[in-house]
Amino acid sequence: MKHGVAFRKLSRTSSHRMLMLRLGKKGDLPAFRRATGFLLDQTMVPKLFSDLATRYADRPGGYTRVHKFGNRPGDNAPHAILELVDNPRDLRFQMTARAVGWELLGKRVGQGDPKALVKTGIPDIVDVIEQEKTVPPEGRGELRSVTRKNLQKVLKFRGVGAVEEMSRIAEDHVVSRPSHIPGGVGTPFLQDTVLAQPLALKEIVAAKQEKKEKHAAYAGIRLKAGQTLPGGQRSTLHLAQGDLGRENPGRWQWFTRRKLGVDQTSVWNQL
């Protein structure tokens, strides 16, 4: 149950939703009658009192979540996505899992051999997640403090199997290869997952050299504007400009802000 809504209408929608969810948790006959009276779609009422009530049994409130989503093109109205927390398509959970994968990969790219990483991936994601669950807010761990905070929040009321699911999403985001590559798992619509690109390029380069085509082997990875690879260091404006973005060699490198998740193309050119 997720909709894009204009931001100003949100407070009314979310308060109605929260009221319905509170009734679902109560579960008794008067609550059932009230919910039936309010909801337009009667098929949702049993779902409210069974699935959603069990999902939010331990959670003391905060059953809905708002994600701001830019502005609507027609009238420039602020847009948002409303979702029920812990639903199968929980956006925050998905984004946190992907962030975990991205950050770990970015860290390890800087530390060690990228070629080995491409083959092995990140085998110890589950251990990292389990460890980060226990780290206090002020403490230090493998992840950024914001990512750790999000991780702890999304895993709090999720129950068994949440850590496994998170690690699976992270691995898929980072390591999975498209199906046209041998041994590839294949998500046919995600053509350029993070590690798949250099692999794919390697295959293409090797094939071209075999056929001895006129065009020389492709030297490096060409990124689109706004696209990065993990472990990089370019600013958002530089990324957005794409090929027109200028490098800042020399003194300026000391003033540019380095953040995890920003592109460092030179590393990947060594593959």
Partner 1 sequence: MAAALALHQSSSWLSAMRAPLARMSLAAAFLPAFLAAPKPFSWAMPALPSLLELFPPWLLAVPKKKTSHSRKAMRSANKGLKDKENLVHCQSCGSPKLAHNMCPKCYRELNISWKAKNRSADPSGITVF
Distances (CA, A) of 35 to 54, 84, 263: 17, 17, 51
Which one among 59, 67, 149, 208 touches partner 1, defined by CB under 8 A? Answer: 67
Sole binder of partner 1 in the list 13, 131, 152, 187 (CB under 8 A): 187
Are 165 and 126 within 8 A, CB to CB? no
DSSP 222: P
Minimum distance of partner 1 from residue 98's CB (angstroms): 3
Does 44 engage in binding with partner 1 (CB under 8 A)? no
Is 107 an interacting residue with respect to partner 1 (CB under 8 A)? Answer: no
CB-wise, 8 or 259, nearer to partner 1? 259
Q: Which stretch binds partner 1 (CB under 8 A): 36-44, 45-53, 87-95, 210-218?
A: 87-95
Segment lying near partner 1 (by CB under 8 A), choices 52-60, 119-127, 196-204, 261-269:
261-269
**What is the full DSSP assignment across 7-71?**
GGGHHHHHHHHHHHHHHHHH-SHHHHHHHHHH-S-TTHHHHIIIIIHHHTSS--S--EEEEEEEE
* Least distance to partner 1, CB of residue 155, Å: 16
> Does residue 38 interact with partner 1 by CB under 8 A?
no
Between 183 and 188, name the residue whose CB sits nearer to partner 1: 188
Instruction: Single out the segment in contact with partner 1 by CB under 8 A; choices: 13-21, 115-123, 211-219, 221-229.
Output: 221-229
**28 versus 75: smaller Cβ distance to partner 1:** 75
- Beta-ladder partners of 78: 71
Among 190, 204, 206, 217, binds partner 1 (CB under 8 A): 190
Residue 4, H or E segment: strand 3-6
190 or 207: CB nearest partner 1: 190
How far is the first Cα of the chain from the last one, in angstroms, to the nearest whole number?
A: 44
List the interface residues with partner 1, window 119-178 (CB under 8 A).
Answer: 144, 146-147, 173
Long-range pairs for 162-168 at CB < 8 Å and ≥24 separation? 163/126, 163/129, 163/130, 163/133, 164/126, 165/97, 166/93, 166/96, 166/97, 166/100, 166/129, 167/97, 167/125, 167/126, 167/129
Residue 5 near partner 1 by CB under 8 A:
no
Smallest separation, CB 106 to partner 1 (Å): 8
Report how far apart, in Å, the C-alpha atoms of 125 and of each of 34, 43, 69, 242 are.
Answer: 45, 40, 29, 32
**Binding span for partner 1 by CB under 8 A among 10-18, 40-48, 115-123, 230-238:** 230-238
Cα–Cα distances in Å, from 204 out to 37, 181, 190, 215, 223?
Answer: 62, 11, 18, 12, 16
Q: Does 10 bind partner 1 (CB under 8 A)?
A: no
Residues that bind partner 1 (CB under 8 A): 67-70, 81, 88-89, 91, 94-95, 98-99, 101-103, 144, 146-147, 173, 187-190, 226-230, 232, 236-237, 239-240, 259, 261-263
